[in-house]
Structure 1
């Protein structure tokens, strides 16, 4: 009976620690990379010993992990129950990933957990006037792998705001090229019961890199490889 109680306690402790570690903002993970990675490793070790039936060692490992996590929370002044519980909504095509995309998502992660709605193929084509290079499922898989993204999904084909409703964010981050009527968005969201959403706009394109847009990358590929063939 005692073993079962220890097992249940360790299992609950480990699951809670995994959830807390996932909520740490990517910027804080980067800043304390060694500490964060060590906390994650202790957590995984705890799960290993739990599955092996060594519940005491599992508890010892997870206590070490908690101490490491608490050091990050203390130094960063993070309250997991409030600050990190905030949700940030970002939407876009994210066709050919470039530094501009990364900077946008990094900025979003400063406000809380980042949820990304990846544009459907037909909607992207309608807006940009061309088919995306990578289809929607490929683009979604790439976005999911970016460290600043907490969760990602395919957007609604007919109603952009349905994706916002799905996340119910505290912050909606718009990119510099997203021409949206902010007041109209807020008014419509309020009608749908989302009255506390704050819109933040990423100020400008990232210009410190040679190519900070998908269009410029495509143009450069055409210039290098298509024009050369015509000339030859």
Structure 2
């Protein structure tokens, strides 16, 4: 399990660094080329199963890109470095969840807090179909997710404190007052940017849990 998580993390790290290399300032050719070589080495060692060396190489590559931006007097804009916090139940996983996480990943590394069974039941009035450990493992396997943890049973803001994100990414249906949330976080010494997705992404059919449940009822529960 630890080995699989390390591999997944290196793969996501490489993806992020490669995105930065595409947009890198060509004026620093030699350093960029060195970063590119480290990234290529990382991919090589990843394929060979040497995940530790792969991780070291990709960290070197990102460090070189950061050094270029510091030298050029720029703010570090590395979306690889930024932490994006997302929270949800993620019970019956559907395309809407994937599109939401994909959108969040545009801002940086996505860290997901998965709701505990007891909290999900209290908020939604029903037990989740999949238990918290199952939901956690499913979310961890999604390519847009850098890491995932279970939320706190008593204080959901403890997860935010633990991750200490640069950005909190909210869904359009998450009933949370952004100003009050930011006020509470500032009391705890945190000051993340809060970004809300304006509307559901409906590129695919059955992009909500309710739609899936209703379709199952229609197909299998109402037939004679």
Q: Name the TM-score, length of structure 2 as normaliser.
A: 0.72
Of 199, 204, 210 in structure 1, the residue corresponding to residue 205 of structure 2 is 210
Deviations 1:38-86 (A, max 9, x none): 65541236765x99xxxxxx9xx99xx77xx78xx7xxx9x9x752211
- The alignment partner of 2:110 has SS state of strand
How far off its partner does 1:211 sit?
0.8
Quote the residue 1:165 is aligned against.
Answer: 161
Quote the residue 1:4 is aligned against.
Answer: none
Report the number of matched residues. Answer: 189
The root-mean-square deviation of aligned C-alpha atoms, in Å, is 3.7
How far off its partner does 1:114 sit?
0.6
Deviations 1:115-138 (A, max 9, x none): 000001111112222211111111
Deviations 1:151-192 (A, max 9, x none): 001001111111100100000000111010111110000000
How far off its partner does 1:24 sit?
3.8
Q: Measure the CA separation in 2 of the matches of 1:27 and 1:210.
A: 32
Query: Mind listing any 5+ residue stretches in structure 2 that lack a counterpart?
Result: 1-5, 23-38
Q: Measure the CA separation in 2 of the matches of 1:203 and 1:101.
A: 15
Q: Measure the CA separation in 2 of the matches of 1:218 and 1:40.
A: 43
Q: Which has the larger radius of gyration?
A: 1
The more displaced of 206-215 and 162-171 is 206-215
Quote the residue 1:199 is aligned against.
Answer: 194
Quote the residue 2:87 is aligned against.
Answer: 91
Q: Name the TM-score, length of structure 1 as normaliser.
A: 0.69
Q: Measure the CA separation in 1 of the matches of 2:212 and 2:17.
A: 27
Query: Mind listing any 5+ residue stretches in structure 1 that lack a counterpart?
Result: 1-14, 32-36, 52-57
Q: Measure the CA separation in 1 of the matches of 2:47 and 2:108.
A: 28
Q: Measure the CA separation in 2 of the matches of 1:93 and 1:120.
A: 8
- The alignment partner of 1:25 has SS state of helix
Quote the residue 2:33 is aligned against.
Answer: none
- Trace 1:44-55 onto structure 2 (pairs within 5 A): 44=46
Q: Measure the CA separation in 2 of the matches of 1:47 and 1:208.
A: 36
- Trace 1:19-98 onto structure 2 (pairs within 5 A): 22=13, 24-25=15-16, 28=19, 40-44=42-46, 83=78, 84-98=80-94
Check the 8 A contact 2:14/2:42 in 1, yes or no. no
Of 176, 180, 184 in structure 1, the residue corresponding to residue 180 of structure 2 is 184
